[in-house]
């Protein structure tokens, strides 16, 4: 991401010596010495004084995107809500390969606010990856950012060799580099999970490097009774130079752009809610109904629990169920009330973590 020169200099002061020592110990990066020296100036965070602070997304300007592109991005959000998985490349032996390209993208949030986000395959959240028990999966991450990154799968029982905390369990992938993550889907992985950057998480996650991983049973669907099975991924942004989260979206889009869900009257509805915010807990409230918590982090509860509000921490996922038994337009929103506003949005009274469930 863009950095101011003073921030860069300060960052170098803090991190350069560490980075140098580490690069000399790293055969991979020595091989790509040129890339590595370019990478060195990309410190993990910017700094204020001597304290590292998370880095948000800079403005791209309202004219940096066309109405057609905004529509395309909203269509991406609809596909995420509808849990449409990306199509894998089928390799010999039946291996499913998903390729994620991390790069910058001008991302439309709300009227007047377009930011330079980081996304996978040009979207935030990244495309839904949907696989089944027994699948042999490869996820190829290509880093087209100008900073190192890795991929991490919080809560998924993966072998240690496939864990992606950059600088801790694996070497960060330098700009221009790539890495293949491979695993076989086991029954204990069934459910709703997320994937996200495992490097400089305080900045990269809220810049947009996150997505959802849905794991189905070997056959059929996890919730066969559900007429509607929809996904809301909660994402957070630091805009206007803020170092704390101050803008929030559902499936990448703050209200009034958040995808809205239409469900048939009387149908049983499952919502999968994923908190991909880097920092904030949320308290998600569905109007009209008492819903039942079915599963947390992919694990089914022994006994589902009834509630009106779901408290969900960063990295957690929750599957809830309710019956759409009253017709109308029902709000679904975060009950932390400053999460339902867009900063400096003079057009819309409501923003952020708000959408509607239309029972027709």
Partner 1 sequence: MWSFGAVFLAGIGEAALHHADAQIANGTASMAMQNSTGDDGPPPTPPPVLTNAQILQEDRDAVNLMNEVALTPRILPGGVKQFTLTASKFGWNFYRNVNLWAWGYNGQVPGPLIRVRVGDRVEIVVHNDLPEPTTIHWHGMAVPNDMDGVPGFPEPAIQPGGTFVYRFTATSQMIGTHWYHSHYDDDYQVDAGLNGVIIVDPKTPPPSMRHVRDVLFVLGAGKQDGSDNENTFLINGKAYPDTPQLTVKRGTTVYMRIVNACAETFHAMTIDGYDVKIVAQDGQPQPDPQTVSVVSIAPSETVDVEFTADETGTFPFYDTVASSLINPNDSVDPVGGMMTLIHVTP
Residues within the interface to partner 1 (CB under 8 A):
281, 283, 285, 287-290, 302-309, 311, 325-331, 335-338, 340-341, 344-346, 349, 356
Q: Between the CA of residue 17 and those of 14, 41, 190, 220, what are the distances in Å?
A: 8, 11, 43, 53
DSSP assignment letter at 78: H
Q: Give the nearest distance from C-beta 290 to partner 1 in angstroms.
A: 6
- Whichever of 160 and 346 has its CB closer to partner 1, that residue is 346
Q: Give the nearest distance from C-beta 328 to partner 1 in angstroms.
A: 3
Q: Give the nearest distance from C-beta 245 to partner 1 in angstroms.
A: 12
Q: Give the nearest distance from C-beta 330 to partner 1 in angstroms.
A: 7
- Whichever of 17 and 329 has its CB closer to partner 1, that residue is 329
**Among 46, 314, 336, 310, residue whose Cα is nearest residue 206:** 314
Instruction: Provide the Cα torsion 93, 96, 97, 102; round to 10°.
Output: -170
**Among 198, 336, 340, residue whose Cα is nearest residue 280:** 336
Q: Are 298 and 317 in contact (CB under 8 A)?
A: yes
- Whichever of 157 and 300 has its CB closer to partner 1, that residue is 300
- Whichever of 204 and 245 has its CB closer to partner 1, that residue is 245
Q: Give the nearest distance from C-beta 115 to partner 1 in angstroms.
A: 19
Q: Give the nearest distance from C-beta 329 to partner 1 in angstroms.
A: 5
Cα 107 to Cα 254: distance, rounded to the nearest angstrom: 11
**Among 63, 144, 55, residue whose Cα is nearest residue 108:** 63
DSSP assignment letter at 149: B
Element (H, E) at 7: helix 5-24
- Whichever of 146 and 275 has its CB closer to partner 1, that residue is 275
Phi-psi label, residue 86: left if phi above 0, alpha if psi -120 to 50, beta otherwise: beta
- Whichever of 69 and 331 has its CB closer to partner 1, that residue is 331
Q: Are 344 and 247 in contact (CB under 8 A)?
A: no
Q: Give the nearest distance from C-beta 325 to partner 1 in angstroms.
A: 8
Q: Where are the beta strands (DSSP E) in 220-297?
A: 228-237, 247-250, 261-263, 268-275, 282-286, 291-296
How far is residue 191 CA from its own chain's centroid?
Answer: 16
Q: Give the nearest distance from C-beta 293 to partner 1 in angstroms.
A: 10
- Whichever of 30 and 349 has its CB closer to partner 1, that residue is 349
- Whichever of 36 and 238 has its CB closer to partner 1, that residue is 238
Residue 350: count other Cβ atoms within 10 Å of its Cβ.
16
């Amino acid at each position: 991401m863009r950095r101011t020169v003073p921030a860069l200099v300060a960052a170098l002061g803090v991190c350069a010596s560490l980075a140098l020592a580490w690069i000399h110990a790293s055969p991979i990066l020595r091989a790509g010495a040129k890339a590595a020296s370019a990478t060195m100036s990309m410190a993990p965070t910017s700094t204020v004084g001597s304290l590292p602070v998370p880095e948000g997304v800079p403005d791209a300007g309202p004219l940096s995107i066309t109405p057609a592109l905004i529509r395309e991005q909203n269509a991406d959000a609809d596909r995420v809500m509808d849990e449409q998985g990306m199509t894998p490349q089928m390799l010999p032996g039946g291996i499913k390969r998903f390729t994620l390209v991390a790069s910058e993208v001008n991302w439309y949030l709300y009227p007047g606010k377009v930011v330079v986000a980081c996304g996978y395959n040009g979207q935030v959240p990244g495309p839904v990856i949907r696989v089944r028990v027994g699948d042999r999966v490869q996820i190829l991450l290509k880093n087209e950012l100008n900073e190192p990154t890795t991929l991490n799968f919080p809560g998924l029982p993966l072998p240690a060799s496939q864990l992606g905390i950059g600088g801790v369990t694996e070497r960060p992938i330098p700009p221009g580099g790539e890495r293949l993550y491979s695993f076989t889907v086991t029954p204990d992985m069934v459910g709703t999970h997320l994937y996200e950057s495992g490097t400089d998480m305080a900045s990269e996650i809220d810049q947009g490097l996150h997505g959802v991983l849905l794991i189905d049973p070997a056959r059929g669907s996890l919730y066969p009774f559900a007429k509607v099975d929809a996904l809301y991924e909660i994402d957070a942004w630091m805009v206007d130079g803020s170092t704390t989260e101050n803008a929030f979206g559902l499936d990448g889009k703050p209200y009034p752009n958040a995808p809205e869900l239409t469900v048939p009257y009387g149908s049983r509805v499952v919502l999968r809610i994923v908190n991909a915010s880097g920092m904030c807990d949320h308290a998600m409230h569905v109007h009209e109904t008492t819903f039942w918590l079915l599963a947390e982090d992919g694990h089914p509860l022994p006994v589902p629990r009834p509630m009106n509000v779901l408290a969900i921490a960063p990295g957690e996922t929750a599957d809830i169920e309710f019956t759409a038994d009253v017709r109308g337009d029902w709000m679904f929103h975060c009950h932390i009330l400053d999460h339902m506003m867009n900063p400096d949005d003079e057009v819309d009274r409501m923003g952020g973590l708000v959408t509607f469930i239309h029972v027709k």
